[in-house]
Amino acid sequence: MECGQLFTSFDEFKNILKEYEKDKRQKFVIKGSRSIKIAEKILNRKLKEDLKYYEIQYICVHGGAVRRRGKGIRKTRTYKMNCPALIKLRATKTGDFLQIKQLVEKHENHEMSEVSVICIFFCILLYRTIASCKKNSDFTFSRRFESP
């Protein structure tokens, strides 16, 4: 993956990103995006539907600053460690391709081991599964404990 690289569709980019994550042993998540439909209204021109996004930014799962909201009474855990690694993509002026506009490959403040990547993938998968279950059913995650 390199700055300036072009992709004919968002799906093509996602496949290359998966390989990149495997090779680098790091996980990237979407920080922000603007869809094709929203951008077409603003730009008043048609863009290729396969792109899905006019612009999208991925950051390392360890990216971003920790925003503490509590009073520090309980110990908390977070993956955020101010890692600067990111990938920014934007549709080309013709609207036919997604292009990497910015690529920061340097990871900082965290390890890059296979074990940590597997743990992160598992946690993200578990979070999405729980969120999906909560959204799609009346299933609750509480249990009643009765004395024997």
Q: Residue 128, Cβ neighbours under 10 Å: how many?
A: 10
d(Cα 12, Cα 44) in Å, to the nearest integer? 26
- What pLDDT does residue 145 have? 47
Model confidence pLDDT, tens digit, residues 95-132: 899 999 999 887 766 666 555 666 767 777 887 888 77
pTM equals 0.66
**3-state secondary structure string, 36-84?**
HHHHHHHHCCCCCHHHCEEEEEEEECCCCCCCCCCCCCCCCCCCCCCCC
